Chains A and B, each alone.
Chain A
Amino acid sequence: MPEEGMEETKGVEEETKGEEERPKWNNKAEYLLTCIGFAVGLGNVWRFPYLCQIYGGGAFLIPYLIALVFQGLPLLYLELAIGQRLRMGSVGVWNSISPYLGGLGVASMMVSFCVSLFYNTIVAWVLWYLFNSFQEPLPWSQCPLNHNNTGYVEECVESTPVNYFWYRQTLNITPNMDTSGSLQWWMVVSLGTAWAIVYICFIRGIETIGKAVYVTATFPYLVLTIFLVRALTLPGASEGLIYLFTPDWEILKNPQVWLDAATQIFFSLSVAFGGLISFSSYNSLKNDCERDAVVVGVINSATSIYASIPIFAILGFKAHTNYVTCLNGNILALTNEFEISDMNITVENYDQWFDSLNGTHPARVSDLNLKTCDLQTFLDQSASGTGLAFIVFTEAVISMPGSQVWAVLFFVMLFSLGLSSMFGNLEGVLTPLHDLKLVPKWMPNELFTAIICLVSFLLALIFCLGSGNYWLEIFNSYVGSVPLLIIAFFEIIAVAYVYGIGRFSDDLEFMTGRRPNIFWKACWLVISPLMLVVVLVAYVAIQAQKHPTYPAWNPDYVNFPDTEVLPYPDWVFAICVLLSSVPVLSIPLVAIYRLICCMSGRHSKDNLHNDPNPYANEGYVVER
């Protein structure tokens, strides 16, 4: 085929020019596993089950799958195709399409960088818990003694050992954001380990990443299956599952559900980071990216659904355990007060005993201040995010026989999920930097990667301060949300309207052998941009309505152990706004910059001919 021949001579010309050949995936499996690993991350395990639970179980799957088909898959297909065709990272790709849109690549790069900072900190927390799982008994199962060994530490007694281990012994959290606290050395050590592991996987680019994903992308499925089998044999598992999957069809009338489904699928697929564009740019041109996109999207959603089963079985077990403990406390109080024979009152006949005792001696019974034990209340205690992993799940693991094994398995799974997502995040930073030619020629890739990892580690030390967790939540909410929506919207507009859907269809026909059908075209032209705009506007509107607050862990709070809800200080709020807007600002800024350059100089056109973009002479002359 003539184009292939041209490719080869151009390739040779590149070599003689001294440029490096673009790295290639060893085989298709590595590429697919890397993309799947990037898409499947911590959110699939600790965000989706929570959403399923609060939004009426099985009914939530409907808006979720609709969002996947009409918003997620088109975006995914678009990114993989554009990267594969133009064979460059996000900066190079958008520069090629239109120099005015070069800011998109810069925005993606900045967002990827900020996200990788806090995401690897979460991986560091997972590593810390993993290191601590190799002891008997588990450190979060009991309270430590206080200074003079007279009793347990007060903060631990008032809350729970699990909470104490997370807030005090892991984070050593300060009571509010104004107090920064000091660097927690054990956190710095864990963070260093996390970045060292990321570095060793990146050391030879996709060669080493491709090997690493064989483990990091597949291991979570193995662990989820093991947990599934184990969890289904635990008491209370069925209650948890019924609670999760009972559909509440009324909930579909609430627009918040649709919004959350759309945002969940969007953030879950990890589009707009630039990482997927980079990964697919290492493919050969003749690769069926349509099939890849559908495979990655479907597997991502299937993983979310599959992960929610063992998670909820275990949460059901935990609720059941808490319920039985609550009842046993009441039973003991009644037994001691009325001097009834030991074990006469059991969990089964508690209600009858209670009614009879309350009937005969109501005053004495009410003096006991018995707790109301309701299984439904315990099931309702849902959590998402770090709360699910580090508080709720660790508490459940203590009650399971052989807790160390389950803790180790769980945290290794979280580590694999986080690491494979980190590959995509960091790739979205490294490849654009290479494309921007910011790497000096003399510097080997290994050194450049090491410098980026070192800089990221030093910047991420913010999250190792006492107030680090508060900052991480800010980064999570403000960097990893609105900017991505805006970038994705401009991506679709850029490809569908600036690049042209006709040209894009030609490219797809060249790569996959068939033109995209009416469904894809309709999505790219109308449906997906519309959905993105609606989601963006709704999201911003809802965020703007409530005054931003954060939950602070303050042992001196009146209602401790409840978290104290504090408003963000003004300077912090300014930083939040900056975090949301600075990545996005690069889009108009670069456009304006290019406009000024174009208007000021005619000679810029001559430059184009003197220094041809090897891919520009296939009929895609960049209009200036």
Chain B
Amino acid sequence: MLVRILVLLYLAGAPALAQTLCQPNASNGYMVRISIKTALGNQAYEWNENEMFLFRATMAFAMRRYYETKTYNVDNIIVCDQTPRVSFWFVVTSPDNAAMLTPKADVEKAVSMSRNRINNAFLLTDRTLEFLGIDPTLVEPVNPNTPPWLIVFGVVIGAVCAGIIVMLVSSLLQKRRKEKGIVEDGQDEEDRQMKGVENGNILDGSYNRGFTDDDRFTKL
């Protein structure tokens, strides 16, 4: 008889006990804020009891993953003070003793460890699924060994240097060809005058065609 009364009391009192454990601003609890419409826009889903159940199950999974030995259950995650924002408080009770709460630090570490899994369960991100007080770990930017700008710089300066060398060499070659050309030109002037090419120069004296070697032009 006494046992029945005690059992009845316990069954009646447990939810009440759970309620007192979970309160806004509880010392070992965390506030969660969810922004589904911001994250998903048109494809946003309704937040209802089923989603809440998924949350509690995911948290239990996170706690299990962190501790590896203790078997947390959905009942160990107690939720309260839900608002239309979708925000609520939750506390985690220990699997061994329903009246004892898991310390805040451990909950934080468990959440941080499994943050990615929790986010993905709800198709949300660090920003849209907030655990107030647990900062998301900063994504370390990819730091390649060679900064990309050096690669671009290397390409550009290589092309420019190659261009400079090509231009300088071609200028040099052109100058050499010109010098050779002038030496040959000196011999060609006589031929040009015999052909009667005018270049506007008035030379000293007049050219006597009788003494030219014009064999080249009278071949038959």
Q: Tell whether A pairs with B.
A: yes
Range class of the B interface residue count: 20 to 34
10 additional A-B residue pairs with CB within 8 Å, beyond A152-B138, A200-B167, A339-B83: A131-B150, A132-B148, A142-B141, A190-B153, A193-B153, A193-B160, A200-B163, A340-B85, A343-B35, A343-B38
B167 contacts A208, C-beta separation under 8 Å:
yes
The one of B38, B138, B149, B161 in contact with A135, judged by C-beta atoms closer than 8 angstroms, is B149
* B120: A residues at CB distance < 8 A: none
Point out the residues of chain B lying under 8 angstroms from A135, CB to CB.
148-149
The listed residue (B37, B85, B148) touching A336 by CB distance below 8 A is B85
Q: Mark B126-153, 1 if CB is under 8 A from A, else 0.
A: 0000000000001011000000111111
List of A residues within 8 angstroms of B37 by Cβ = 342-343
Partner of B167 from the list A151, A203, A335 (CB cut-off 8 Å) is A203
A interface residue count range (under 10 / 10 to 19 / 20 to 34 / 35 or more): 35 or more
Cα distance A150–B137 in the bound complex, in angstroms? 8
Whether the pair A340, B141 counts as a contact (CB closer than 8 A) is no
Counting residue pairs across A and B whose Cβ atoms lie within 8 Å, the total is 84
Does A199 have its Cβ within 8 Å of any Cβ on chain B? yes
CB distance from B125 to the nearest CB of A (A): 14
A142 to B140, CA, bound (A): 11
The complex places the Cα of A8 from the Cα of B201 at a distance, in Å, of 11
Partner of B85, one of A145, A186, A189, A342: A342
Does B71 interact with chain A (Cβ within 8 Å)?
A: no
Q: Is B19 an interface residue (CB 8 A)?
A: no
What does the 1/0 interface line of A137-149 toward B look like (CB < 8 Å)?
Answer: 0000010110001
Chain A residue with Cβ nearest B201:
A12
Q: Mark B74-92, 1 if CB is under 8 A from A, else 0.
A: 0000000001111100000
Q: With A193-B160, A339-B84 known to touch, is A131 a contact of B38 (CB < 8 Å)?
A: no
Q: Which of A204-248 contact B (CB under 8 A)?
A: 204, 208
Q: Could you tell me if B33 and A336 are in contact, using CB atoms closer than 8 angstroms?
A: yes
Which chain A residue has the least Cβ–Cβ distance from B82? A339
Closest to A8 in B: B200
Does A249 count as interface, using CB distance less than 8 angstroms?
no
Question: Which B residues touch A192, using CB under 8 A?
Answer: 157
For B3, list chain A residues within 8 Å (CB).
Answer: none
CB distance from A440 to the nearest CB of B (A): 17
Q: In the complex, which of the residues A12, A200, A342 contacts B160, with contact meaning CB atoms closer than 8 Å? A: A200
With a cutoff of 8 Å between Cβ atoms, the chain A residues found around residue B160 in the complex are 193, 196-197, 200
Q: How far is the CA of A488 from the CA of B163 in the complex (A)?
A: 38
The reply to whether the CB of B220 lies closer than 8 angstroms to some CB of chain A is no
With a cutoff of 8 Å between Cβ atoms, the chain B residues found around residue A336 in the complex are 33, 85, 87
Q: Which 7 A-B pairs have the closest CB atoms?
A: A343-B37, A339-B83, A131-B149, A339-B85, A135-B148, A131-B152, A342-B37
16 pairs, A vs B, C-beta closer than 8 Å:
A12-B200, A130-B152, A131-B152, A134-B151, A142-B141, A145-B138, A150-B138, A190-B153, A200-B167, A203-B168, A208-B167, A339-B87, A343-B35, A343-B37, A444-B171, A444-B175
Asked whether any CB of chain B lies closer than 8 Å to the CB of A254, the reply is no
Report how far A343 CA is from B151 CA in the complex, Å: 45
Query: Is there an interface contact between B85 and A341, defined as CB atoms closer than 8 Å?
Result: yes
> Which of these, B148, B151, B156, B164, contacts A199 with CB under 8 Å?
B164
A residues adjacent to B (C-beta < 8 A): 8-9, 12, 127-128, 130-132, 134-135, 142, 144-145, 149-152, 186, 189-190, 192-193, 196-197, 199-200, 203-204, 208, 335-336, 339-343, 444, 446
Contact of A151 among B138, B163, B175 (CB under 8 A): B138
Among A130, A186, A200, A203, the most chain B Cβ lie within 10 Å of the Cβ of A200
Rounded to whole angstroms, the CA-CA distance of A151 and B136 in the bound complex is: 11
Quote the shortest CB–CB distance from B1 to chain A (angstroms).
47
Which B residues, 13 to 43, have Cβ-Cβ distances below 8 Å to chain A?
33-38
* Complex: A556 Cα to B175 Cα, angstroms: 61
A591–B131 Cα distance when bound, in Å, is 80
The answer for the CA separation of A149 and B135 in the assembled complex, in Å, is 13
CB distance from A553 to the nearest CB of B (A): 22
Q: Which residues of B contact A150 (CB under 8 A)?
A: 138
Alpha-carbon distance A127/B157, docked complex (angstroms): 11
Q: Return the chain B residue nearest A338 by Cβ.
A: B85
- CB neighbours (8 Å) of A9 from chain B are 200
In the complex, which residues of chain A have a beta carbon less than 8 angstroms from the beta carbon of B38? 342-343
C-alpha spacing A130/B151, complex, angstroms = 12
* Given A8-B200, A342-B36: A335 in contact with B149 (beta carbons within 8 A): no
For A131, the closest partner residue in chain B by CB is B149
Q: How far is the CB of B174 from chain A (nearest CB, A)?
A: 10
State A131–B138 Cα separation when bound (angstroms): 27
Max chain A Cβ within 10 angstroms of own Cβ: one of B33, B149, B151, B168: B149
A196-B160, A339-B87 known; A189-B35 Cβ under 8 A: no
For the complex, give the distance between the alpha carbons of A12 and B160 in Å. 38
